[in-house]
Amino acid sequence: MDGGGRYLQPMTAYPAGFAVARAASGGRRPASSFKQPSRIKKLFGASSSVRRRSSGVPLEQRLPRFLGTGLTLAFFSAVVGYGLWQGGHIDDFIRQHGEPHHALARTVGLGLEQVTISGISQMSENEVLAATGINGKLSLAFLDVNDLRERLERVPMVKSATVRKLYPNELVITLTEREAHAIWQHNGELFVIAADGTVIDLMQDERYLGLPFVVGEGANSRSKDYLALVEAAGPLKQRIRAGTLVAGRRWTLKMDNGMDVRLPEIGAADALARLVKLEHEQKILEKDVLAIDLRMADRVVVRLTEEAALARAEALKKKPMRGKGVDT
């Protein structure tokens, strides 16, 4: 295994005709030699003189040799091909051997016999091959690497992909996977998302339970903002369990005791600093409070639990009123 890649010996679990294996090193071919411009001009000159001299040669002598034979063979090949197509034989051939051009390329030694995949840790080789549509009936010569790359990059887990051919028989695929960044709850479902908000998969694996948790429309694309707020909470960040994006503008934090902390759209970090101070001085998170509203800079509004609200109401009833006509 090299660089997070997974390599298999000549495959048995994959479609017949190719295997996932270790990449073979390829050499650089020597650069082609070019004819000198003077030589090219001389050849063009000779060519033009031949055309002038041939103007008086009979037509049958100017035609290429075996032209009639070639045209005859082409005609009969077309007739045979049409007959095979009408009889359904071509479809049978394609089902058994693949497209004719791929079959022809395989017969001359350009079949797809080896696939090397690297850069995967969360995906399997089977998932990569399924995404590309690669099978043993294809040939290396006629594979479109750009099409394969685009297919791979449509897979949510794949951030980027490169695909290249190593002639005569090997295809090399290198992937960069997206990393799980947070869990997003939307319309009652849980999704694992990447840092850019892309949905990677449904939340089906317990190993993601420790990821940050965001809720609400558009919260997936704003998860970085939420994490910045968590960091701004300083000593209270371990008590923050989730963040809900409200109307796409501001966050409400859910604390570990079920309390909601409503933050303003602007100045959310400053509001969290006030919360840290309130907790230090008054232990506000330990009180019978359902929600703390920090959206106004000059005051803190709290919503008491039902029991706390009833107790406060009773206490106010028993408290003597001061003022005119009232005994103290």
90 versus 139: which is more confidently predicted? 139
Q: Whole-angstrom Cα distance, residue 163 to residue 128?
A: 12
- Is residue 1 over pLDDT 60? no
Question: CB–CB of 260/243 below 8 Å?
Answer: no
Q: At what angle do helices 145-153 and 125-132 cross, to 10 degrees?
A: 120
Percent residues over pLDDT 90 in the chain: 47
The 10s digit of each residue's pLDDT in 7-28 is: 444 443 454 455 665 444 444 4
- Is residue 83 over pLDDT 60? no
**273 to each of 230, 233, 264, how far by Cα in Å?**
11, 7, 13
Residues 6+ apart with CB under 8 A from 288: 304, 305, 307, 308
- Is residue 265 over pLDDT 50? yes
Q: Whole-angstrom Cα distance, residue 316 to residue 306?
A: 15
**Domains of the chain: which residue ranges?**
71-177, 180-318
What is the average per-residue pLDDT within 114-138?
A: 90
The angle at the Cα of 12, spanning 10 to 14, to the nearest 5 degrees, equals 95
CA gyration radius for the chain? 37
Q: Whole-angstrom Cα distance, residue 55 to residue 59?
A: 9
CATH 3.40.50.11690 fits 180-318, yes or no: yes
pLDDT value at residue 77: 54
The 10s digit of each residue's pLDDT in 35-77 is: 333 333 333 333 333 344 444 555 455 556 555 666 665 655 5
Least confident of 78-92, 109-123, 215-229: 78-92
pLDDT value at residue 58: 58
Residues 6+ apart with CB under 8 A from 235: 276
Which phi and psi (to 5°) does residue 211 adopt?
A: -75, 155
- Is residue 80 over pLDDT 70? no
pLDDT value at residue 138: 85
Task: Name the class of domain 71-177.
Answer: alpha beta
pLDDT value at residue 98: 57
Give this prediction's pTM. 0.59
What is the bridge-based pairing of β-strands 213-215 and 250-255?
Answer: unpaired
327 falls in which pLDDT band (50, 70, 90)?
Answer: very low
Which phi and psi (to 5°) does residue 186 adopt?
A: -145, 125
The 10s digit of each residue's pLDDT in 164-221 is: 999 999 999 999 999 999 999 999 999 999 999 999 989 988 888 899 999 999 999 9
Displacement of CA 103 from its chain's centroid (Å): 32
What is the average per-residue pLDDT within 234-255?
A: 95
